[in-house]
Structure 1
Amino acid sequence: MPKVLISDELSPRAVEIFKERGVDVDVKVGLKPDQLRAIIGAYDGLAIRSATKVTAEVLAVAEKLKVVGRAGIGVDNVDIKAATARGVVVMNTPFGNAITTAEHAIALMFAVARQVPAADASTQAGKWEKNRFMGSELSFKTLGLIGCGNIGSIVAERAIGLKMRVAAYDPFLSEERAQALGVDKVTLDELIARADFISIHTPLTEQTRNILGRERLMKTRKGVRIVNCARGGLVDELAVRDLLISGHIAGAAFDVFSEEPAKQNVLFGAPNLVCTPHLGASTVEAQENVALQVAEQMSDYLMTGAVANSLNMPNVSAEDAPRLAPYLKLAENLGSFAGQLTETGIKAVSIEYEGTVAALNVKPLTQAVITGLLRPQLENVNMVNAPILARERGVDVAEVKHDRDSDYQTQITVTVTTERRTRSVSGTLFGGKRPRLVYIKGIEIEAEFAPNMLYITNDDKPGFIGRLGALLGDTGVNIATFHLGRDKPGGEAIALVAVDQKLDGALVDRIGALDGVTQAKALAF
């Protein structure tokens, strides 16, 4: 039974979902880094929010860990690069709190435009300073959105409903999507020049850190109002304070800070500033949604292999997971076959899909091929880190789908180019679930994969089968199956022999020394 650790506050319903799906679960909230490192090795999954920091040091001792699930959107508290290198899937829940965070951004826009917190404090103090709190309408103002993904697009829809004009900067926003939302797609410089309000909805990355730095903030329109409900570190907080004091920025609202919990911050005490303690996702509905979603996603992955909302692996739906399972096995075996026969550096690999398989989600299959290909050469390779390891080693990976009919209902062909040669191997599924080899180097040969196999290339001349059989018999090796193929009479022949035990190196060397043999290799699947 897989075991999951919940290390941050989640809805009790999440625990119930894990148990209902057959996953054992422990709840240990508030662990210090050394405490987390001391126990994480016992768990297959880790469910977190923003408090737990999943660092490279934590991942280094997480020997069983397969998945980290973040109940929320931001994953800047997870070292995704280290997780990928360790083969750990990282998931988030991008939709569970999107509405809640978008609504909070709108609320803060109203609060900063009408100085609601300061007016409330003044009124409750008995001052009745009606003339002091002159606000600004949102209607017909320009809202500049930095980031127009899940949350940003909801903010755009709400803002348009308030009769605001919306300009959006997002490198991934297509013209068609912008038109559908009713926003102007602009450059960041254009947004800075036009916006009366700026709201940020982008993750914190090296590219987005300080996206609103001092230089850009000084180029904004005088009287601009800034809202940040995304991540601390996206805005230069000291620059905002200075510009609030000078009056260049009319108001600012921050729900997130560069260091949290923000018990102190350079912004605090600045005029016309509204602050909340990272409440973007803090509604009953959102907390329940993200907790349920992360529990369901992690359970599905651990129990069925389904992958949803992953940051470092192709998604596989719960419906597709069982259907892909035999193809994944075929793909990994084909990659392993090619990898075990490869003795020099791999330069490129091409994976071709024909027939039924070409209509499926082949991204996971490609990763399975690469996993099998690299595993004979590298330790700790799996479907998560295999593409990264291939890229680091300069292996060019090509994925091709063919509409043409193949000799079989479904066919996968793996072609590996090394420093010395190019070799291809093809396979199919018999009965829709049994992986089988059908071509090796273009030579037709039908063989099922077996735990222990012997691969031989030899000259197609009489007497070879007898010599091989006699040697195996003399050394006590029992043949389970024997498959033969050749390119032409008297040309190159291939023998693929399944045997009942593992072959030692000395015996393989003796087989390789037989008359007519050009290559002999023991294979394991």
Structure 2
Amino acid sequence: MARVLVTEKIAEGGLDALRAAGHDVDVRTGLSPEELLGVIPGAHALIIRSSTQVTAEVLEAGTDLVVVGRAGIGLDNVDVETATRRGVMVVNAPQSNILSTAEHTMGMLLAVARSVPQAHGALMAGRWERSKWVGVELADKTLGIVGLGRIGKLVAQRASAFGMRIIAHDPFVTPEAARKINIELVDLDTLAATADFVTLHVVKTPETVGMIGEDFFAAAKPGIRIVNVSRGGVIDEAALAAALEDGRCGGAALDVFASEPTTESPLFSQPGFVGTPHLGASTAEAQDKAGDTIADQVRLALAGEFVPFAVNIAAAEASETVRPFLGVAEQLGGIFAGLHEGLPPVLDVEYAGELAGYDTRILTLSVLKGAFAGTTEEPVSYVNAPQVAAERGIEVRDTTTVTSRDFVNLITISGGGHTVAGTLVGLRSEPRLVHVDGHSVDVPPSPHMVFVRNDDRPGVIGRVGTVLGDAEVNIADMDVGRSDEEATALMVIATSRSLPDAAVAALRSAEGVLSVAVVDRA
């Protein structure tokens, strides 16, 4: 019997299932951070929602913890890195609220089209403003969906029933996969210029923060209406307020905000604005699903069984020989996705050398985990990475060969005209990027990398270094690889931080530079 500490309201059905399994369910809601530290010792499992902060301090105090279960999708309130380091499994309920969120999106879409809240408020205040709140129909309008994951697809299905034309922007979905569900993939500028309505279904990453801002509204169709029931911060709220003020945006409906709780905002004074206090998952059904799912995951974890929604434990399945390569495989996946700006329809992963004699499936999952990092509304784990690939129409082919000419072991990812390869070197098994698009290099993978393909002639390296210096960006590592087939070279640069847009533009216009790719990973 294990002690299961529950700090937030969870569906009783799930808790009853844990009790039936013989566990001691200790419900302590409303705990302060200090009180949580006092009761976590002796708990084998901790079940939370979004309010409880599972910090490194909490994890260190929970010396008996086996699993932390988040009854929902997001894990912003859980220190997953510390949990992993301490051997604590972290599980969530990634599919519990997708239907509720999609339905709330449709509700907000209708509300912003017909000004339902504004008309209701006027009527309740004693004003019959029938002529003031003239709306628009959804039929025959174009809906632009940003983020074509599970929720985006559910919204597309429902919007199609209203007679809307659907376009979408998602660099991690192939055009073939989108065509199968009658959706046209476009770039973000085209979506802005074409769509009458836009709904957002993206995770909050450095790339998506503020993605709907001044540049978007400058390119947007006049009167465009925006709905966000995904993550706060992906819309620049000041830019949105300005666009509502001057009429560039015809209406906006937000369920999430950059800072929560939000009770004051310049948006609230705009007559075309509709707001709700983060209610996307707030249905009885979603709450029950989340509670039931997380209780089941915790029960499996405590029993030592396979846990489908574990987000940080699948590495334990790797053999002692394969396990050291998990990190470099994930890094290579992220670098490849950044170079390709997504993933191609067919992804080839080859394992050469000693690795070929082992089960390398977990490494392929690591590659996918790195490639999909930060691209879906739920965390991508070793468990759900193949499902994410299948949903996006990506075929993953892995092969092995015992022959490796230059390295004892080598992992190579290729597809869509790009190739990256990496390995571990030295007694410390340090990761190295050793091959990029036909060029041999030797650079440790880094969160911030710049790939500059240039004419193989004097002076180009100096010009690149000058641009980085002027931008006050330090070079942490750098190597230059030459191509055996053409008179070009490739500079692979690990930088101290992300390269500013102006510096990227300066590099691309520098004499002798043929192309520039910037890869920033979380």
Structures share fold, TM-score greater than 0.5: yes
CA distance in 1, matches of 2:63, 2:354: 32
Relative distance call for 1:147 and 1:419 in structure 2 (3 A) is closer
Structure 1 residues 166-204: Cα deviation after superposition (integer angstroms, max 9, x where no partner):
111222212232122221112222222222111111122
Task: Kindly report which structure 2 residues correspond to 1:94-109, keeping only aligned pairs within 5 A, or say none.
Answer: 94-109=94-109
Task: Kindly report which structure 2 residues correspond to 1:348-427, keeping only aligned pairs within 5 A, or say none.
Answer: 350-352=354-356, 362-363=361-362, 419=426
Note if 1:300 corresponds to 2:300.
yes
Q: Which residue of 2 aligns with 1:123?
A: 123
CA distance in 2, matches of 1:63, 1:217: 51
The answer to whether the Cα contact below 8 Å between 2:322 and 2:355 also exists between their aligned partners in 1 is no
* TM-score, structure 2 as length reference: 0.61
Structure 1 residues 248-287: Cα deviation after superposition (integer angstroms, max 9, x where no partner):
1111111112222223334222221111121111111111
The answer to whether the Cα contact below 8 Å between 2:108 and 2:227 also exists between their aligned partners in 1 is yes
Q: Which residue of 2 aligns with 1:165?
A: 165
Note if 1:211 corresponds to 2:211.
yes
Relative distance call for 1:195 and 1:26 in structure 2 (3 A) is same
The answer to whether the Cα contact below 8 Å between 2:193 and 2:219 also exists between their aligned partners in 1 is yes
The answer to whether the Cα contact below 8 Å between 1:96 and 1:286 also exists between their aligned partners in 2 is yes
Q: Which residue of 1 aligns with 2:288?
A: 288
* Percent identity (aligned): 40
CA distance in 1, matches of 2:221, 2:14: 46
Relative distance call for 1:24 and 1:244 in structure 2 (3 A) is same
Task: Kindly report which structure 2 residues correspond to 1:257-296, keeping only aligned pairs within 5 A, or say none.
Answer: 257-296=257-296
Name stretches of at least 5 consecutive residues in structure 1 with no aligned partner. 317-327, 337-347, 368-382, 385-398, 405-415, 423-525
The answer to whether the Cα contact below 8 Å between 1:97 and 1:286 also exists between their aligned partners in 2 is yes
Q: Secondary structure at the match of 2:82?
A: helix
Relative distance call for 1:248 and 1:289 in structure 2 (3 A) is same
Task: Kindly report which structure 2 residues correspond to 1:60-71, keeping only aligned pairs within 5 A, or say none.
Answer: 60-71=60-71
Relative distance call for 1:315 and 1:127 in structure 2 (3 A) is farther
The answer to whether the Cα contact below 8 Å between 1:352 and 1:400 also exists between their aligned partners in 2 is no
CA distance in 2, matches of 1:43, 1:247: 55
The answer to whether the Cα contact below 8 Å between 1:105 and 1:229 also exists between their aligned partners in 2 is yes
Task: Kindly report which structure 2 residues correspond to 1:223-238, keeping only aligned pairs within 5 A, or say none.
Answer: 223-238=223-238
2:4 partner amino acid: V
Task: Kindly report which structure 2 residues correspond to 1:175-190, keeping only aligned pairs within 5 A, or say none.
Answer: 175-190=175-190
Q: Which residue of 1 aligns with 2:420?
A: none
Name stretches of at least 5 consecutive residues in structure 2 with no aligned partner. 324-351, 367-380, 383-396, 403-422, 430-522
The answer to whether the Cα contact below 8 Å between 1:168 and 1:191 also exists between their aligned partners in 2 is yes
Note if 1:114 corresponds to 2:110.
no
The answer to whether the Cα contact below 8 Å between 2:353 and 2:401 also exists between their aligned partners in 1 is no
Aligned length: 353
CA distance in 2, matches of 1:41, 1:206: 36
The answer to whether the Cα contact below 8 Å between 2:225 and 2:251 also exists between their aligned partners in 1 is yes
CA distance in 2, matches of 1:115, 1:220: 21
Q: Which residue of 1 aligns with 2:412?
A: none
The answer to whether the Cα contact below 8 Å between 1:40 and 1:62 also exists between their aligned partners in 2 is yes
Note if 1:15 corresponds to 2:21.
no
**Aligned-residue offset at 1:216:** 2.3
* TM-score, structure 1 as length reference: 0.61
CA distance in 1, matches of 2:158, 2:315: 30
Q: Which residue of 2 aligns with 1:139?
A: 139
The answer to whether the Cα contact below 8 Å between 2:72 and 2:92 also exists between their aligned partners in 1 is yes
Q: Secondary structure at the match of 2:268?
A: coil
CA distance in 2, matches of 1:420, 1:128: 79
Task: Kindly report which structure 2 residues correspond to 1:2-81, keeping only aligned pairs within 5 A, or say none.
Answer: 2-81=2-81
Q: Secondary structure at the match of 1:156?
A: helix
Q: Which residue of 2 aligns with 1:91?
A: 91
CA distance in 2, matches of 1:115, 1:46: 43
- Greater gyration radius: 1
**Aligned-residue offset at 1:37:** 2.8
**Aligned-residue offset at 1:302:** 1.9
